[in-house]
Amino acid sequence: MARNGVQLITYADRLAGDLPGLARLLGSPPWSAAFTGVHILPFFTPFDGADAGFDPVDHTAVDPRLGTWEDVGAVARGRDLMVDVIVNHVSAGSAAFRDWQERGDASPAAGMFLTMATVFPYGATEDELARIYRPRPGLPFTPYTVAGERRLVWTTFTPQQVDLDVAHPGARAYLDAILDAIAGAGATLVRLDAVGYAVKTPGETCFMTRDTFAFIEEFTAHARARGLEVLVEVHSYYRRQVEIGAAVDRVYDFALPPLVLHALATGDGEPLARWLEVRPANAVTVLDTHDGIGVIDVGADQTAPDAPGLLPPADLDALVDRIHASSGGTSRLATGAAASNLDLYQVNCTFYDAMGGDDHAYLAARAIQFFTPGVPQVYYVGALAGRNDVALLQQSGVGRDINRHRYTPDEVARELGRPVVAALLALCTWRSELPVFDGGFAFALEDGVLTMSWRAGDDEAQLTVDLLSHRAGLWWRHDGRDGSTDDLLADPPVLEG
């Protein structure tokens, strides 16, 4: 089981150049003390395809430009390692898909890839097609030529990402081979990317249905047999997240980022408090990831709009407008239909820019994240309190690239010298070293002040945050010694002994 310390989320190339570089960076201070684990975003062949590695041509091979499986193992040594398993799709350039295109039913890969006819063998009505839940506009089909015939291949995300039939023996063998490679490298956890869309059932939404849960349960058993925990990645209605949490090892808390932003901008902590009452404790907490800041996770149920969300529509609209204003309008350039971005339920912005570059507010947000039950993860741009990379956005035309900066070694060294970055990494170290977070949790909200506390035996830790002023204080007792700070920026917490 993964240790309850802070984990880093990062691309190997965008922070440290390659996998050996990442191993060196994580093995040196202040990174080595701050992070007990790392989630390496896709390093498979190719790591720089149509969707930044989430469209693998060969999911079992490390891209040689980044290193080898031995290099992955070196990163895993002495820390928890999370690796992605992209269960929903592969690249249209994969050997299996190209062979099926060429040979059709004579290919060993015949049946591995979903088509409209696979799911709707007798045709689909307009109502059935309209029922399909979509993360992006339009229908989920792309015409491809297969053995001389035009076929409508199921493509949930982009035309280059062709969906697998996860019930097909060939697809199951393929997914097992990925698990074998990942486990063999010493990984601790796997993240099921886009698993909510992996099972298509005619007449249903094709998103997080009973069949999806059955697939997750079966896949989780295969992963556990190899010593791997499973994290499920799903953006969805908050009550569905609670349901998912009860059925899996770990689930992302994607509701936390917008609720923290709302609380620290308005002083209204009630929506956050309501979420703390019901959320799954077996969560991985995040404020930022390689994708955008989700808003669907706190809104009304997209499949049943009469089911209200954690934030009403007016507050949700105000939240999005504040992010755009706080970022000086740069996030608006990267969000919605802008910049070829199709993730319409996410705002593309660094979390530091979403908070207007306010160091005290940013550290208060991180402290709330670290006190929320679960294993906290910090995205590499967030670890360096990064700003929106408008130049990269303009260069690539991909909205999410605004939060995917490519750091040089000199930049990393320079950013580590900023007080807010030093304070955040000190807070990460404090959180990673204090065992009290495996104990019992309590919280209270009174007059705009959020108090969060943990107790394990004689050890205690308490956080108080004035949501409007952003003043945050810590008090703790560990091994009979007390410590405290009233200013996370000027006086970051340090454990004695």
Taking the alpha carbons of 118, 121, 125, 127 in that order, is the dihedral positive or negative? negative
The answer to whether 119 touches 132, Cβ cutoff 8 Å, is no
Closest CA to 265 of 409, 462, 467, 458: 467
The answer to whether 363 touches 420, Cβ cutoff 8 Å, is yes
Return left, alpha or beta for 129; rule: phi > 0 is left, psi -120 to 50 is alpha, else beta.
alpha
Q: What angle do CA 209, 212, 217 make, to 5 degrees?
A: 135
**What distance in Å separates the CA atoms of residue 25 and residue 19, rounded to the nearest whole number?**
10
DSSP-derived secondary structure letter, 113: B
Catalytic residue among 80, 165, 233, 249, which? 233
Give 306-351 as a DSSP string. Answer: TS--SS-HHHHHHHHHHHHHHTTTHHHHTSTTGGG---TTEE---H
Active site residue 84: no
**What distance in Å separates the CA atoms of residue 71 and residue 76, rounded to the nearest whole number?**
9
Active site residue 176: no
Catalytic residue among 193, 249, 253, 459, which? 193
The answer to whether 495 touches 483, Cβ cutoff 8 Å, is yes
Q: What angle do CA 393, 50, 120 make, to 5 degrees?
A: 125
Between strands 375-379 and 283-285, the pairing is: parallel
**What distance in Å separates the CA atoms of residue 137 and residue 123, rounded to the nearest whole number?**
21
- Quick one: 126 exposed, middle or buried, by C-beta within 10 A (0-12, 13-18, 19+)? exposed
- Taking residue 105's Cβ as centre, other Cβ atoms within 10 Å add up to 9
**What distance in Å separates the CA atoms of residue 189 and residue 202, rounded to the nearest whole number?**
32
Closest CA to 345 of 386, 291, 395: 291
Element (H, E) at 451: strand 449-456
**What distance in Å separates the CA atoms of residue 165 and residue 159, rounded to the nearest whole number?**
16
Question: Would you call 211 helix, strand, or coil by DSSP?
Answer: helix
| Contacts of 327 by beta carbon, 8 Å cutoff, 6+ apart | 349, 350, 353, 354, 356, 388
Q: What angle do CA 393, 399, 403 make, to 5 degrees?
A: 70
* Catalytic annotation, residues: 193, 233
